[in-house]
Amino acid sequence: MTDPKPSILFTRCSGVLLHPTSFPGRYGIGDLGHHAFQFIDFLAHSQQRLWQVLPLGPTGLENSPYMCFSAMAGNPLLISPEQLYKDGFLEANDFDNLPTFTSDRIHFNQVTRVKYPLFHKAYERFQINATSNQRHAFEQFCHEKAEWLEDFALFMAIKRYKQGISWSSWEPELAEREATAIAACRETLSAQIQFEKFLQFEFFRQWSEVKKYANTYGVQIIGDIPIYVAHDSADVWANPKNFCLNPDTHQPALLAGTPPDFFSQTGQLWGNPVYDWNYLQQSDFQWWVQRFQAMLDYVDVIRIDHFPGFAHFWAIPENETDARKGKWISAPGEQFFQTLEQKLDTLPILAEDLGIITPDVEALRDKYQFPGMKILHFAFADPASPYLPFKYQPNCVVYTGTHDNDTTVGWFNSLGKEEQQNVLKYLGCTSSDGIHWDLIRLIFSSIANLAIVPLQDILGLDSDARMNTPGKQQGNWEWRYEENALTDEICDRLKDMTEFFYRAK
């Protein structure tokens, strides 16, 4: 087959993993204001060509970007108030008496309480003061995104009206989207629906400016598609036939997870509904194609989280408290990617293929030449580990660690003395001083085409800067870097290493 992917996936280059919520700034959470552009300047000056983000959707349960209210919408908390001010939709006195936020952590509830009143003021002024060009841009956006925007805006309007309860607990006529009930909600909640559309308009307008700036400086953005979506989402509510749901309760009839293994005797029960792949295949994978099309509107490359689920998946019956009674079910991954390639012409995809990978997953990944992932933190415990650099093939992307790993400094400090000595011996080091740069050097020097480093590792931060600890219920997704963290010294060191190992632009 002809290669459908952009050249960046086959180019020797490097990049940084950082979610936009981790930018500094005065509003308690990173957003798409000037710090986003400053970060891109840092990438450009240090000769990085990739910026990887986590899912950008509106977060729900526990603020996880992997459990969003929509697979296609953007997170309003990323909207920059300063950009709204520059556009004339906020005034200087709107910022009077703002609270002082902590600079290194996100307190999501406080951020929401501060930002949403500003958004409402901005929408009110937009209604009154928007120019004809701005109104036209809003109308055009609503028209172009209507395929998912109409359902999402209605879903969020109803959800806010019902104080956040899950759609499966709404009145049956709303949960089942009866035409009369839906029409009544569209009329009664029309103002809130328009407000939700405005938030999406502003998010995508601001994000498109950030992406345009990045691309201008030779930086491509890697987005993230979690294979599963949250049950309490517009995706499941508006498209229930795509999922295995109990028709009486609207709860998942089969739940996603993983079987028991060496790490967990009871497996993992994620709670997402699994897909009805038979129905999806009969519909020519329409929803999935729409999802990829929507995402490629605002990123350059897509990382698929839990790629093995396109070959087979572990399905757990409802009402189970753990994953032991699940079963393997095959998924039509080959037919899906054939359809996707026909619809999109290009498949700029990275495959998250971590863990125990079976031959059918390898065959699916390799047929389309999707780069798989290598994690250096996983390499040193076993001399047969596939994550040791001398085992790599060029067509892969290597990380020191990901958002689910500890930082490199925290990881090294957590190892036993013997394990630490093994790592230092492999690196050829006598001291752990600068261990983060030693691991960055190792992945940059590897044969892997793509090398990506979490910003926490470039900054040499310890476990306090960890983004996510799987299985931990609180304290995740909160880290932010400090205002003056991206120093010239760090930029120059990263640039020198990038150039030395032939990963520069």
DSSP letters, 397-430, are EEES--TTSPPHHHHHHHS-HHHHHHHHHHHT-S
* Beta-sheet strand order (sheet of 254-258): 268-273, 254-258, 312-317, 327-330
Which listed residue (305, 406, 438, 478) is catalytic? 305
pLDDT in tens, 284-343: 999 999 999 999 999 999 999 999 999 999 999 999 999 999 999 999 999 999 999 999
pLDDT at 147 exceeding the cut of 50: yes
**Cα distance between residue 207 and residue 33, in whole Å:** 10
pLDDT in tens, 80-109: 999 999 999 999 999 998 999 999 999 999
Rounded alpha-carbon distances, angstroms, from residue 418 to 377, 413, 414, 425, 440? 15, 12, 12, 10, 22
- Dihedral pair phi/psi, residue 271, rounded to 5°: 95, -10
- Give the model's pLDDT for residue 292: 97
Determine the residue type at 22.
S
The bridge status of strand 450-454 relative to strand 396-399 is: parallel
462 catalytic residue (yes or no): no
Show Cβ contacts of residue 2 under 8 Å, excluding neighbours closer than 6 positions. Answer: none
The HSE-up count of residue 279 (CA atoms within 13 Å, CB side) is 11
Q: What's the rounded mean pLDDT across residues 490-501? A: 98
Indicate the helix (H) or strand (E) that contains 372: strand 372-375
pLDDT at 1 exceeding the cut of 60: no
The answer to whether 49 and 11 have CB atoms below 8 angstroms apart is yes
Residue 379 has a CB neighbour count (10 Å cut-off) of 21
Closest CA to 281 of 332, 231, 350: 332
- For residue 341, give both structure tokens: 């390639």
- Give the model's pLDDT for residue 355: 81
pLDDT at 263 exceeding the cut of 80: no
Look at residue 124 and give its three-state secondary structure: helix
Residue 22 has a CB neighbour count (10 Å cut-off) of 25
Which listed residue (41, 150, 404, 462) is catalytic? 404
470 vs 74, more confident: 74
pLDDT in tens, 388-447: 999 999 999 999 999 999 999 999 999 999 999 999 999 999 999 999 999 999 999 999
Which listed residue (224, 300, 352, 457) is catalytic? 352
pLDDT at 5 exceeding the cut of 70: no
pLDDT in tens, 183-193: 999 999 999 99
464 catalytic residue (yes or no): no
Give burial (CB, 10 Å; 0-12/13-18/19+) of 436. Answer: buried
Indicate the helix (H) or strand (E) that contains 450: strand 450-454
176 catalytic residue (yes or no): no
Instruction: Say which DSSP state 300 is in.
Output: S
The bridge status of strand 268-273 relative to strand 254-258 is: antiparallel
- For residue 374, give both structure tokens: 């290598």
Look at residue 243 and give its three-state secondary structure: strand
- Dihedral pair phi/psi, residue 121, rounded to 5°: -60, -40
